[in-house]
Amino acid sequence: MKLTNKTIVITGGTSGIGYQMVKLLHVENTVLVIARQSERLDKLLAEFPTIELYPCDLSKPATYEKVADTITKTHGHIDVLINNAATQNTPTYLADDFNYDAIVPEISLNFTAICALSYLLLPSLLNNGQTAFIANINSGLGLMPKTNSAVYCATKAAMDMFSQSLNYQLEETNVKVIQAFLPLVDTPMTEGRGKAKITSIKAATDILAGIEKEIVVNDLGKVKLLRLLLLLAPFIAKKILKGG
């Protein structure tokens, strides 16, 4: 599938990987960005005036139906839904700065929103008359967790199971569910953490290339090595990620 003349929904398009995908796609496609209302959203529209903005706080499930209904009424069909928005809270449960109130919003943004938007926008994906995609942006931490960010790791593991199961459900339709598994990427979310990160533009380019090639499981960078370690020496993978 060539990503030109398509209607593409991207969540979390104001920074990091999402921003780079908007930058790569906006010239030859109709790009719809779902993101929380902020100054960054206004700046995005100023930079890319042809995109469409749909302000929505995806950490709040009560907002999902309204934004999906607005998109459905505005566009007869959607070709690609890219579930990219995510957040990662790093304090451990034993840390003094662990925020109990952040648990539900993190789960909602990272996982519930994906389940909900995949359902609410599915009629528009089924209605496009050709192959359509739900592209879920995952992480190597969905395959093996690290010590901190327990909630984030759990949501990414859940995304993997959801994506596989939903793909089974949609086998007889025109909609395919694919995933991109990312290594550590240099984004505002990972600022000050980790080394040897890939750039957000590299991640965005590889994600979009995977969609065009219809790769169901697209392992980027070091995730390829992680996948091999999980097969051949899972204890080594566990040791590496535990201290990651």
Tens digits of per-residue pLDDT, 17-41? 999 999 999 999 999 999 998 899 9
Is 102 in contact with 89 (CB distance < 8 Å)?
A: yes
Q: What is the pLDDT of residue 127?
A: 86
Q: What distance in Å separates the CA atoms of residue 236 and residue 41, rounded to the nearest whole number?
A: 42
Structural domains present in the chain: 7-242 (3.40.50.720)
Amino acid at 189: M
Catalytic residue from among 93, 119, 152, 168: 152
Amino acid at 10: I
User: What secondary structure letter does DSSP report for 80?
Assistant: E
Looking at every residue in the chain, the average pLDDT score rounds to 94
119 is catalytic: no
- pLDDT of 95 above 70: yes
Could you tell me the pTM of the whole model?
A: 0.94
Is 180 in contact with 138 (CB distance < 8 Å)?
A: yes
Residue 142 has a CB neighbour count (10 Å cut-off) of: 23
